[in-house]
Amino acid sequence: MANKSNQPKIKQYSTASKILTAAFVVICLIWIMPIFEVVINSFKSNNAINLDVFALPGGDSFVGMDNYVKGMTFGNYPFLKSVGYSVYISIASTILILLFCSMAAWYIVRVQSKFANLFYYLCLFSMIVPFQMVMFTLTSTADSLKLNTPWTIPVIYLGFGAGLAIFMFVGFVKGLPLEIEEAAAIDGCGPVRTYFNVVLPMLKPTLISVGILELMWVWNDYLLPYLVLDITKYRTIPIHVQYLKGSYGTVDLGATMAVIMMAILPIIIVYLFCQKYIIKGVAAGAVKG
């Protein structure tokens, strides 16, 4: 009797699983479709894209790698220069966020003072404040503090990325055994040596997770560099794509699609290889927090 009563539940669970699987497949296809369109149009001529953006490349519409070659030289601003700025800003901003936010999280958890708690809640509050509320004030502040160059804009990214990073680091640090740090202090380690020699190696799962998330955010960000930087001198890849225009404002869609593909391909590869670390880091922080 017990086996018979369980059979409808098993069948119901199986049907629900199939429905959820089908729904997630549809959602994945919807998300992948724009990327697929960028890929196929990057191999088509400009006229073919204007005639039918959804058609597959073939025959006269297929131009091979010509759009990629043209995209490297199209416009009046070197594409490789934009790549250099994006690489530097992304890496420098991610390093600053990882270093300072992990330090701040360790301080918040171990000190547990009113100031530390207030600082933590302010960081959490910064996650819910819309960027549009502060962008005009941010522009004038960045100009007055000389933070409007590619070499200094990572400081601004540190401020905007601190909320999520500290939240994840605090959740993980709460689960670290305090006895290890006490043993290091008995052996003569000060706070700095304890952090770099003991705490930082144990933070590796969350460091990787936060690093990937922040790197993807900074690499794809358009609005902050556009507002802060002088775009006549400094352009990141998202800004470079917007200004891919020829004479009289004409836009070569094939070259633009090729540049977009070259821009998103590196970060897609990074995410595909590192997504398991994101899941592990988030899960570790949630369980230990």
Q: Hey, what domains does the chain have and what are their CATH numbers?
A: 2-67 (no CATH), 75-288 (1.10.3720.10)
User: 């953006």: which residue's tokens?
Assistant: 53
Separation CA 107–CA 110 (nearest Å): 5
Distance of CA 64 to the CA centre of its chain: 30
Q: How much is the pLDDT for 283?
A: 61
Nearest-5° angle of CA 270, CA 171, CA 156? 60
- The full length of the chain comes to 289
Q: How much is the pLDDT for 32?
A: 87
Q: How much is the pLDDT for 3?
A: 52
CA distances from 158 to 33, 62, 164 (A): 33, 44, 11
**Phi, psi dihedrals of residue 251, rounded to the nearest 5°:** -120, 125
Q: How much is the pLDDT for 1?
A: 47
Q: What is the DSSP letter of 44?
A: B
The torsion defined by the Cα of 128, 131, 135 and 141, in degrees rounded to 10, comes to: 50
Structure tokens at 193: 């040596």
Q: How much is the pLDDT for 245?
A: 67
Query: Which residue ranges in the chain fall short of pLDDT 50?
Result: 1-2, 9-11, 287-289
AA identity, residue 143? D
